[in-house]
Structure 1
Amino acid sequence: MSTRLARMRDLVIRGRKALLPDGGTISKIPLLDMLAHNWHLGFISFGGPTVHFQMFRELFVEKYGWLDDTAYDELFGLCQALSGPGSTKMLYIINVMHYGFDCGVAAFFVWSLPMAIASWGLAMGVGQIQDELPGPAYALLSGLNSATVGIVALAAVQLSQKAITDRLTRTIVFLGGTAGMLYNALWYFPVLIAVGGLMTTISDLRLVQRSWRALSRDQPPPRQADDDINLETLEQRREASSVRHRTSRQDEAQPPQEQQSQSKLLSWKTGVIVLTSFFVSFAIVMACRGIYSDRNRAFDLFANMYLAGTIIFGGGPVVIPLLREYIVTPGWVSSRDFLLGLAIVQAFPGPNFNFAVYLGALAVQGSSTPTIGGAATAFLGIFVPGMWLATGLLGIWSSVRKAHAVRAALRGVHAAAVGLVFTAVYRLFEIGYLDAEVRNGGSLSRDPWWVVIVATSFVGGMHYKLPPPAAILLGAVMGLIWYAVVRA
């Protein structure tokens, strides 16, 4: 009788998992199951990569249970250490680990295509408008930008709560955020991320202490300190043994789901081949870019986007100044259209890299390439490098992730990347205001009302559970209210 009851209970549990979108298998067909768990993300993920990372943690760790907090933090640091779109790589990697590469690629398109198509449509509309927008339109766009800054700031605070595990990581978050505000160059952000990883590696592996012991090994300590030194050495050995014991227990007690995820990844040899092939492709594209420059607008666009997607670290907020240099400086897109599209696309859900789709459609206007061709070219050029690198690294990740030095470095990379999110908040704040006289973007501090919208978005999300789409809409309404009161 008890056996029958146990079987009935198991059937009920399985039935509930099949009906509820929690993390259980909804369909035996992996593609359909992936769609059931991912189809909506490209439509509701407002706020940019910072908010996306927080949303993915709530979804894939807390709700679905596909990962634990430690694995998620490792993947976050890994995605920040690689160039390309951060949150897109994260979603892709999680789905590859859970379903396999075919469904991972499908999840990438499910995530990115909806707003990529919307960005192409936006470019078609912007290409037809006059040089100057009406006043209410500028006020609405400034309100959208203000609300976005508040959402990103809230996500930065939430991410920092996970990244800060001790005094050192708190210091790295602080230094990453403040140092990122002081200077802006393509090489600068990768250096800050690398320094964060180096700091935690030195600390966790006790490299300074070991070096000091090696240098002072020939110098015997004073007799009166023998007992203290022996006690200190014994305590350090106990601590190291405890850490190794916990690590070995975690590896031995690895959940079957994680073991199954690792079995779906490439071998390390295939991963090396994939990474090598990418660098070969990059060298070929850059060589052709130098030889055949200015002969075909579509190829120039693809080469510039391919270069941008390869050298950008830090995700969406970092791509903005680089795309300005590669698209506006050659004269393909006007500065007004660049900032106008930036203000609107930032209010779109999904990846911020879709801004490249908008620019690609505008860049080919007047050439032999149709606008949809320019949009597709920019889409592939900006996304392919990061996804290619992530695919190759997945092959060797299972072999190196257990190394203590790698985990120590990722802890610092994670903290430094979160610090740069606060830098992104500052830079978005400084270009959020738009009007007929400030077409290149001005600081939201020009009027206290925009700061009020930032604060409303932040406090609404933190204390009143205001969802990002509602915060974006509220920001737009408050922008129009400002125009009615001040300018009308």
Structure 2
Amino acid sequence: MRHDTDFSSSSFWSLFRIFLVLGLTSFGGPVAHLGYFRTEFVQKRQWLSEQDYAELVALCQFLPGPASSQVGLAIGLLRGHYRGALAAWLGFTLPSAILLIVFSVSLPFLQSELTQGVLHGLKLVAVAVVAHAVWGMAKTLCNTPAKVSIMTLSAVLILLLPVVWLQPAVILLGGLLGYLYLTNETTTGTRTLPLTLSFSAANAFGVLFLVLLVGLPLFSQLYPSAALQLVDIFYRAGALVFGGGHVVMPLLQAEVVPTGLVDADTFLAGYAAAQAVPGPLFTFAAFLGATATGSITGWLGGVLALLAIFLPSFLVLAAVLPYWQTLRSSAKVSRCMAGVGASVTGILLAALYQPIWLSSILSPMDLALALIGFVALQFWHRPAWQLVLLGALAGGLLALSF
């Protein structure tokens, strides 16, 4: 596979445009987002190998915050340093954040049959995208019986024990099995990525992450203000949640509903709206910040909440990446990461069934449309954004015809 090794060549605006398209078209939740990213950056642009990408996904699964957004941040950081990370985050996050703030004053529209049909069509596209990602990753990362066995074990564990904390445990198990049983496997696909972050910068980011985590609650008590209260609530949510967007919901509910910042009905309506838009589910924070009672509301509240909930993701990622880069160059670690790649493929395979398949394939027509989408990606080599448009159109037409 050819790789574009000139990682510093991507300008802010070129990265922003790439991630903006993803932010406008990546429906289906975090697992589907990883499928869209793989199509864009591994298959289409060849910025990463399958092994590089699987390792990056595995790393972000261990960190607090939204794994898919952190993968995007990491790719932006590799392509364009801090400016690249900012471009990637803005492009991928702004569409859903803006839509959710707008939805805060137009929630009744979400209940129309046409809208529900369009959303269902987009779910079917997500099935095709994730199936395409599993197919491609399995061919590259699970190309021996031992790796297929690790993939299968990982998928079985996730399917039979569907608890959030199990995913990092399964990845650790995959790494251990890789170390023990993949001693004769080659890992020539792994290369040194041109990360320009220094260890001193990484340490500074790690210290800042901890200082804000401990300091914001103290300052919000000592100097009460609506803005500081919002930043404290959403920073802690982004810093302490593991498992992605859906897991942050109960943490945010406990912070904003009992305190009266957002009433229960509005909270649930906003959470439903967050499922309907492309991009990361963490942008639910923008809706809550915009609708919270107090002096900081509307667009300003939405922006503050959005920045606060994503800031920990960047700080933790920047603190960890240089150390991860050093570790992965070890031959022993390479064996572990080969097992991790197979394990990540198994986790993605399990997610294809639950929640994506079970929530999307409800009839033979649904299966037929998802199958066409998979074939279009895998064999006709159509871009994902075309499938998004066609899936929305098909879902809307089906809703109007029944």
Question: Which of the five TM-score ranges fits, normalised by the shorter chain?
Answer: 0.7 to 0.9
Greater displacement, 48-57 / 469-478: 48-57
1:428 pairs with 2:340: no
1:421-470 Cα offsets, whole Å, 9 max, x none, are: 233332134445xxxxxxxxxxx43x443344333333332233343333
1:46 pairs with 2:46: no
Distance 1:280 1:326 in 2: 21
Shift, 1:71, TM fit? 4.0
Distance 1:286 1:170 in 2: 47
1:342 pairs with 2:274: yes
The one-letter amino acid paired with 1:319 is G
Shift, 1:273, TM fit? 4.1
1:401-435 Cα offsets, whole Å, 9 max, x none, are: 32233323333333323322233332134445xxx
- Say if 1:288 and 1:193 are closer, same or farther in 2 by CA, change over 3 A: farther
| Secondary structure at the counterpart of residue 64 of structure 2 | coil
Distance 2:389 2:40 in 1: 23
Shift, 1:352, TM fit? 4.3
1:326-378 Cα offsets, whole Å, 9 max, x none, are: 33896435375245413421xx2x4443344334434x1x4432122332233
- Say if 1:59 and 1:148 are closer, same or farther in 2 by CA, change over 3 A: closer
1:73-111 Cα offsets, whole Å, 9 max, x none, are: 443433333332334333333343343334433443344
2:365 to 449, 453, 457: 449
- Structure 1 residue runs without a partner (length 5+): 1-21, 206-238, 433-443
Tell me, yes or no, if the aligned pair for 2:15 and 2:88 is still in contact at 8 Å: no
1:383 to 310, 320, 336: 310
Distance 2:161 2:233 in 1: 23
- Say if 1:140 and 1:104 are closer, same or farther in 2 by CA, change over 3 A: closer
Number of positions where the alignment pairs a residue of Structure 1 with one of Structure 2 = 389
- Say if 1:176 and 1:482 are closer, same or farther in 2 by CA, change over 3 A: same
Tell me, yes or no, if the aligned pair for 1:140 and 1:480 is still in contact at 8 Å: yes
Shift, 1:392, TM fit? 0.9
The one-letter amino acid paired with 1:427 is P
Aligned-residue Cα RMSD (Å) equals 3.9
Give 1:199-278 correspondences, 5 Å limit: 199-204=177-182, 261-262=194-195, 264-266=196-198, 268-278=199-209
- Structure 2 residue runs without a partner (length 5+): none
Shift, 1:200, TM fit? 1.5
Distance 1:103 1:323 in 2: 29
Corresponding residue number in structure 2 for 1:143: 121
Tell me, yes or no, if the aligned pair for 2:246 and 2:281 is still in contact at 8 Å: no
Give 1:303-318 correspondences, 5 Å limit: 303-313=232-242, 318=244
1:465 to 381, 391, 395: 381
Distance 1:59 1:133 in 2: 32
1:461-487 Cα offsets, whole Å, 9 max, x none, are: 22333433332333333333333443x
Corresponding residue number in structure 2 for 1:279: 210
Tell me, yes or no, if the aligned pair for 2:57 and 2:71 is still in contact at 8 Å: yes
Distance 1:480 1:110 in 2: 27
The one-letter amino acid paired with 1:384 is L
Corresponding residue number in structure 1 for 2:86: 105
Distance 2:64 2:52 in 1: 20
Corresponding residue number in structure 1 for 2:300: 373
Tell me, yes or no, if the aligned pair for 2:245 and 2:280 is still in contact at 8 Å: no
Tell me, yes or no, if the aligned pair for 1:270 and 1:395 is still in contact at 8 Å: no
| Secondary structure at the counterpart of residue 111 of structure 2 | coil
1:150-189 Cα offsets, whole Å, 9 max, x none, are: 3233223323333314323322322323322333434222
The one-letter amino acid paired with 1:140 is V
Shift, 1:54, TM fit? 5.2
- Say if 1:24 and 1:372 are closer, same or farther in 2 by CA, change over 3 A: same
Corresponding residue number in structure 1 for 2:327: 400
The one-letter amino acid paired with 2:273 is G
Greater displacement, 466-475 / 322-331: 322-331
| Secondary structure at the counterpart of residue 295 of structure 2 | coil
1:357 to 286, 291, 295: 286
- Say if 1:183 and 1:382 are closer, same or farther in 2 by CA, change over 3 A: farther
| Secondary structure at the counterpart of residue 11 of structure 2 | helix
- Say if 1:188 and 1:326 are closer, same or farther in 2 by CA, change over 3 A: farther
TM-score (norm 2): 0.78
| Secondary structure at the counterpart of residue 265 of structure 1 | coil
TM-score (norm 1): 0.66
Distance 1:417 1:24 in 2: 25
Greater displacement, 295-304 / 81-90: 295-304
Tell me, yes or no, if the aligned pair for 1:145 and 1:343 is still in contact at 8 Å: no
Give 1:71-86 correspondences, 5 Å limit: 71-86=52-67
Shift, 1:201, TM fit? 2.4
Tell me, yes or no, if the aligned pair for 2:155 and 2:349 is still in contact at 8 Å: yes
1:121 pairs with 2:121: no
Tell me, yes or no, if the aligned pair for 1:135 and 1:483 is still in contact at 8 Å: yes
- Say if 1:51 and 1:201 are closer, same or farther in 2 by CA, change over 3 A: same
Shift, 1:391, TM fit? 0.6
- Say if 1:406 and 1:355 are closer, same or farther in 2 by CA, change over 3 A: farther
- Say if 1:282 and 1:159 are closer, same or farther in 2 by CA, change over 3 A: farther
Tell me, yes or no, if the aligned pair for 2:274 and 2:283 is still in contact at 8 Å: no
Tell me, yes or no, if the aligned pair for 2:36 and 2:384 is still in contact at 8 Å: no
1:48-87 Cα offsets, whole Å, 9 max, x none, are: 5555545555655566665555544443433333332334
The one-letter amino acid paired with 2:20 is G
Tell me, yes or no, if the aligned pair for 1:156 and 1:422 is still in contact at 8 Å: yes
Distance 1:319 1:148 in 2: 17
1:93 to 32, 53, 74: 74
Corresponding residue number in structure 2 for 1:233: none
Give 1:17-36 correspondences, 5 Å limit: 33-36=11-14
